[in-house]
Amino acid sequence: MSKPFDATTRKLLELDPAGWLTCLGLPVTGPVRAVDSDVSTVTAEVDTILQVGDPADYLAHIELQSGHDLTLPGRLLHYNVLLNHRHGRPVRSVAVLLRKEVDSPRLTGLHHVRLPDGSSDLDFRYSIVRVWTLDVEQISSGGLGMLPLAPLAKVGRSDIGSVIGRMKLRLDREVPENQASLLWASTEILMGLKYSEEFIESLLQGVQGMEESVTYQAILRRGEAKGEARGLLEGEQRALIRIGRRRLGEPSPEVVKRIEDIEDESALMTLLDRLIDVSSWDDLLASP
């Protein structure tokens, strides 16, 4: 999955693991919790692993995909075997495709590993969930961790406004302000996979925590349109400071200086993504 969405989707899965399993059509046979997803013996890390049952009945490996990747079936097989070996439990592998552009006829739910003579040496089955085909009503009324996916589900563009309205009603009633802020930030980030910043701004205007994030997207796109590499970096730096100010408070001059000294675009994107996970500027800028 594309790195800018890693922290966002992991946080949503950890917020409501049972809700995700239900929506993805996996059985919930007992308590559900996230477990260590590190399989570093082969320098790989999967998106999210959920343990279902206590003791575990099975593990659910959920891989969210926002970019086109024809190696996905092979990676799922790779992770499935490693996780089964590490945890000693059967593993259900699910690929969650976040947008239509990720899809391919080769993503069938069955991965063949064949010998040179054409015979089948191994058949590996996995599940595929195409978010744009999911029922928006099911997501809107389901687990809170799934709510940010509602605008990406099966819904007409003219109906997105009412979907956002229903989301706001639920979040206002059901979650504290800090958790609502996280879910709105996740919603805006994921909507960027499908909609322009102008459309997102028109929908989310006035929703808590969204104005700065939309400003961030606009700054990036203006910088790209001008083709000014330096201007793009400066725009990312300013956006990080502006969004962080809303979430973490006023930065010290030292923090501002450290951000302005960062000239690696991927590093700035990583810091932006981490904003939803940290509680202070020191935590944000600490080495991972």
Residue that finishes a domain, picked among 133, 167, 184: 133
Looking at the 3D structure of the chain, how many domains does it have? 2
Q: Which long-range contacts (CB under 8 A, 24 or more apart) does 241-246 make?
A: 242/212, 242/215, 242/216, 243/212, 243/213, 243/215, 243/216, 243/272, 243/275, 244/275, 244/281, 244/284, 245/212, 246/209, 246/212
State the pTM of this model. 0.70
- Residue 53 in domain: yes
pLDDT value at residue 218: 52
Provide the mean pLDDT of the chain. Answer: 81
Residue 59 maps to which CATH number? Answer: 3.40.1350
What mean pLDDT comes out for the span 267-276? 78
> Looking at residues 134-151, what average pLDDT do you find?
92
Residue 124 sits in the same domain as residue 224: no
Provide the pLDDT for residue 43: 41
CA 125 from chain center: how many Å? 24
Domain check: are 33 and 98 in the same one? yes
Residue type, 16: D
Same domain, 64 and 169: no
Q: Which range, of 4-13, 95-104, 139-148, averages the lowest pLDDT?
A: 4-13
Tell whether 76 is covered by a domain: yes
> Is 65 found in the same domain as 11?
yes
3-state secondary structure the chain: CCHHHHHHHHHHHHHCHHHHHHHCCCCCCCCEEEECCEEHHHCEECCEEEEECCCCCEEEEEEEECCCCCCHHHHHHHHHHHHHHHHCCCEEEEEEECCHHHCCCCCCCEEEEECCCCCEEEEEECEEEEHHHCEHHHHHCCCHHHHHHHHHCECCHHHHHHHHHHHHHHHHHHCCHHHHHHHHHHHHHHHCCCCCHHHHHHHHCCCCCCHHHHHHHHHHHHHHHHCCHHHHHHHHHHHHHHHHHHHHCCCCHHHHHHHHCCCCHHHHHHHHHHCCCCCCHHHHHCCC
Residues 59 and 83: beta-carbon distance below 8 Å: yes
Whole-number pLDDT of residue 235 = 67
Q: Mean pLDDT, to the nearest integer, of 41-69?
A: 80
Q: Indicate whether 103 and 191 sit together in one domain.
A: no
- Asked whether the beta carbons of 136 and 154 are under 8 A apart, the reply is yes
Domain that holds residue 21: 3-133
Residues 176 and 280 in one domain: yes
* pLDDT-derived band at 38, boundaries 50, 70, 90: low
Q: For residue 163, give the nearest of 147, 174, 145 by alpha carbon.
A: 147
pLDDT recorded at residue 217: 53
Stretch 261-274: mean pLDDT: 80
More confident residue, 166 or 220: 166
User: Does a structural domain hold residue 72?
Assistant: yes
Residues 90 and 27 in one domain: yes
Q: Is the pLDDT of residue 56 over 60?
A: yes
pLDDT of residue 178: 74
Query: Pairing relation of β-strands 58-65 and 91-97?
Result: parallel
Q: Are residues 109 and 230 located together in one domain of the fold?
A: no
Averaged pLDDT, 64-86? 89
At residue 268, the pLDDT reads: 81
Q: What confidence category does residue 36 fall into, taking pLDDT thresholds of 50, 70 and 90?
A: low
Whether residue 209 is found in the same domain as residue 257: yes
Residues 178-237 have pLDDT tens digits of: 788 778 888 888 888 888 878 888 888 766 545 445 544 554 454 444 444 555 577 678
Terminal C-alpha separation, the chain: 19
Whether the Cβ atoms of residue 83 and residue 46 lie closer than 8 Å to each other? yes
Same domain for 81 and 165, yes or no, is no
Choose one of 101, 133, 165: the last residue of a domain. 133
Q: Is 14 within the bounds of a domain? A: yes
- Is residue 226, in this structure, part of any structural domain at all? yes
Q: Which amino acid is at 231?
A: G
Residue 219 belongs to a domain:
yes
Residues 210 and 123 in one domain: no
Whether 204 and 261 share a structural domain: yes
Q: Which of 47-51, 165-169, 220-224 has the highest mean pLDDT?
A: 165-169
Is 255 or 214 the better-scoring residue by pLDDT? 255
Tell me what percent of the residues of the chain surpass a pLDDT of 90.
Answer: 32
Please indicate, yes or no, if residue 139 is contained in any of the structural domains. no
Examine residue 166 and state whether it is found in any structural domain, yes or no.
yes
pLDDT tens track for 76-133: 999 999 999 988 999 999 999 999 989 999 999 999 888 888 777 889 999 999 999 9
